[in-house]
Structure 1
Amino acid sequence: MTGIEDFLHHQSEIIDRVGWAVTAVHPHADDTDHHAPFAYTVGLTAHNHPELLVAGLDPAISQHLLNDLAARVYDRAERFTHGQRIGDLIAGYDAVVIDGTPTAQLHPGAAIARYGQQVRVQQVVWPDPEGRFPWDAGYAYPPSAQPTLRRP
């Protein structure tokens, strides 16, 4: 098997066992466009749910957040709506869910390779320390720190 075949086989085993897998995308060291890391689920599409995505956080943190939310979707049939605030995901802060379509910066390639263009995406957006989001005036980080699929 090639590297990608091994990756897809391992991912399939996780999806079969858990219901989804989390894939992290790390920017290359020579990335001159300053792309942020991001992570996304793969497997929720097979159950007619959007895949979930988090951008700009450490991959281990993103994996934890995505596994929490994916379990709510997969195990409890919880649905998230565009603009919904989630108050029990990040201690002391709300996160906001936004619907969107993949972009060049936030492209869930493994999900699209597996399920094609039927993949829908919901991004979980985190606030700065003052509770502001990327679309709010005074957001503490540059836009490249947490690219978004769109505004709520």
Structure 2
Amino acid sequence: MTPECARRRLLRIIDRCGWALQYVESAVDERGIHPAFCYTVGLTEIDCPEVVVTGRVVDQSAAVLDELGARLWDGDSLRPGERISAGGLDLFLVEVRECESWLLGAVALYGQGQVSALQAVWADCEGRLPWEGTVGSAIVQPLLGPPPGGRVVC
């Protein structure tokens, strides 16, 4: 598929559904481990942040992002520092600091500096967020912005 065909397809999905999801597979290369992540594209059009989830499979990511996308589309607001639930997961919202590094599809569509985003950071099976446990989960769930207290874990 050419980049222009991919762009037109993305715009059709956004036009039909309000947003699209972009899933990026995990990879391992000479620079390290790169966990899978998924993000919305299209919420920028309604002056809302895009939302990203790292370290989950496609179905889990889609459940979280579609629920949060629907909330935003219906007029709810999401803010950094909120603890919420969506898609069956306990989440904490963190402001994404470098959208240009992570949300390539959204940035390509709307332009550099035009996209803001929140990361929906999920709690583990014991209810702990990455910065609350004794063993970091940064490999599976890297933080794309500062957790409470400002210490970035990556």
Task: Decide: shared fold, TM above 0.5.
Answer: yes
8 Å Cα contact 2:99-2:115 kept in structure 1: no
Tell me which of 61, 83, 98 is aligned to 2:94: 98
Tell me which of 133, 144, 151 is aligned to 1:149: 144
Amino acid at match of 1:119: V
8 Å Cα contact 2:55-2:141 kept in structure 1: yes
Aligned equivalent of 2:127: 131
After superposition, the C-alpha distances for 1:28-84 in whole angstroms (9 at most, x for unaligned) are: 35465111100000011111100000000002210121011101101x111011110
Task: List runs of 5+ in structure 1 lacking aligned partners.
Answer: none
Question: Whole-Å Cα distance in 1 between the matches of residues 24 and 116 of structure 2?
Answer: 18
Question: Whole-Å Cα distance in 2 between the matches of residues 29 and 137 of structure 1?
Answer: 25
Normalized against structure 1, the TM-score is what? 0.87
Question: Whole-Å Cα distance in 1 between the matches of residues 50 and 9 of structure 2?
Answer: 18
Aligned equivalent of 2:42: 43
Other structure's SS at 1:34 match: strand
How far is 1:27 from its partner?
A: 2.6
The CA RMSD over aligned residues, in Å, is 1.9
Amino acid at match of 1:62: S
Change (3 A) 1:24 1:148: same
Aligned equivalent of 2:151: none
Change (3 A) 1:13 1:31: farther
Number of equivalences: 146
Normalized against structure 2, the TM-score is what? 0.86
Other structure's SS at 2:123 match: coil
Aligned identity (percent) is 34
Question: Whole-Å Cα distance in 2 between the matches of residues 56 and 65 of structure 1?
Answer: 12
Q: Which has the higher contact order (CA 8 A, sep 6+)?
A: 1
